[in-house]
Structure 1
Amino acid sequence: MRRTALIIVAAGRGVRMGAPLPKQYLPLEGRPILAHTVLAASSLLTPGDQLILVIPPDDNERVRALLEEYCPGVSLTLVHGGATRGESVLHGLREVSEEIKLVAIHDGVRPILRREMWDRLLAAMEGSEAVVPVTRPTDSLRMITPDGASTVLDRSLVRCVQTPQLFTREAVLAAYEAEGDTAQTDDAGLYSLHTGRSPLLVEGDPDNLKITTPRDLALASLILSADKE
């Protein structure tokens, strides 16, 4: 197995949640969302792998206290993020050891990270340089056209993108150093912009939701409660 670095990006402020705290610190089933994510990520790694957590520069004391209380014994590298997600990811990438061959980039507010999906991603990286977990939409889809009308999309041709997204270290670092911040909303988008190639799509996990709204938080609580039963 090639050594892997898993970068958790948790440097945002989560304004869409409408909460007094950045959403990564909100409580979920007895511990902060970010603690769930760190614990889940650390459980997937093997000796020789690297866990990197990118946080807001002003939150160093808060995060260290969180890790000490909820994630004792987890070994990771803390990195301060930048003004944008792209800058934050690049800061994390620059902390990856040169001996590491694979890099996974994961949202700090996706706390339900299961081994089954992780193993699928790692297996797919054999012979690939970029792998992305996706799910199939269940709703019908329409796309708004420039004139304000809309047109039907064939949902069999559309996928919903998740994280963690896996890359070879060289490929993703080159993409970020060359392109920097763009309109791309995820790491695979930046990779495709830089290389002109598509990532390999792998079956994701419908429960691997990104917590963005209060409804997402309630749903994550239900999923985690069911997992305990």
Structure 2
Amino acid sequence: MKKYAIIVAGGSGTRMGSPIPKQYLEIGGKPVLMHTLEKFFLTDSSINLILVIPETDFDFWHSLCQKHDFHLPHLLTKGGKSRFQSVRNGLARILDHDGLVAIHDGVRPFVNTEVILNSFQTAQDQGSAIAVVALKDSIRKLTDDGKSFFQERQYFRLVQTPQTFQVSKIKKAFEATELHHFTDDATVYEHQGWQVSLIAGNTENIKITTPEDMEYAEFILGKKTS
């Protein structure tokens, strides 16, 4: 089956406190987004990469590619006003209904090769594959009246990306009207009444959002190159 990866990078970087969005900040001398694209390409060069960023960033992205001599093949697509709309725009660029598509946050450059490969295989077999990791800390549920209650952490998982699907199913799911509880692609898929399949993610696969995340990202890169 033909494979695709939609890399979504429409954030403004407000929590980073940076003059440019976090996906374009450099770690290891290269923008975060380039590390993410390279991870998928190096995992399987046959994966068709679709990069979704704000249309106003197109010229800036082209200048970054020129500056860093970045020529990895990818299809540039304009983002929408929300993540849901950005993913839908990316899906619209896929004409093949028999393939597989991984949807991944552009600011998660440390996803393991094994996770990517497993996501495609599981999605092919079961329709979907959602990367998750177990919780390490104790958790409590807050109520509207200010109380809190202990929860068994063994029954919960932290959700990551990639979230990988059979193209025909996820395209149908994204025909739905956008709802507030569509916090990720899995919730859009579930809205059709389909059960998602979970796979093991990797703990290093952080979503870079804050300056502290940037420091940790540099640490991870240092470990990989040492």
Compute the TM-score of the two structures, normalised by the length of structure 2. 0.95
Q: CA deviation at 1:156?
A: 0.3
Query: Does the aligned pair in 2 maintain the 1:182–1:190 contact within 8 Å?
Result: no
Judge conservation of contact 1:11–1:54 (CA < 8 Å) in 2: yes
Percent identical across equivalent pairs?
37
1:223 corresponds to: 220
> Structure 2 counterpart of 1:66, which letter?
L
Amino acid at match of 1:90: R
For the pair 1:45 / 2:44, whether they are aligned, the reply is yes
Q: Indicate whether 1:75 and 2:73 are aligned.
A: yes
Name which of structure 1's ranges 30-39 and 98-107 shifts more when overlaid on structure 2.
98-107
1:11 maps to which residue? Answer: 10
The 2-side partners of 1:3 and 1:62 are apart by: 30
Gaps of 5+ in 1: none
The count of corresponding residues between Structure 1 and Structure 2 is 226
Contact 1:133 1:162 in 2 (8 A): yes
Superposition deviation, residue 128 in structure 1? 0.9
Partner SS, residue 107 of structure 2:
coil
Residue aligned with 1:78, SS: strand
> Which TM-score applies when normalising by structure 1?
0.93
1:25 maps to 24
CA contact (8 A) 1:26 1:32 kept: yes
* Contact 2:40–2:116 (8 Å) recurs in 1: no
Match of 1:109 among 107, 110, 126: 107
Cα deviation 1:129-184 (Å, max 9, x = unaligned): 11101000100000101221011111000000000100011111111112334322
Alignment RMSD: 1.5
How far apart, in 2, do the equivalents of 1:59 and 1:200 lie? Answer: 34
Compute the displacement of 1:99 (Å). Answer: 5.7
Amino acid at match of 1:9: V
Aligned-partner residue type, residue 28 of structure 1: I
Summarize the alignment of residues 1-229 of structure 1 with structure 2, pairs less than 5 Å apart.
2-47=1-46, 49-70=47-68, 72-98=70-96, 101-193=99-191, 195-229=192-226
Q: AA paired with 1:227?
A: K
In structure 2, runs of 5+ residues without a counterpart are none
Contact 1:35–1:66 under 8 Å retained in 2 = no
Deviation of the 1:122 alpha carbon: 2.1
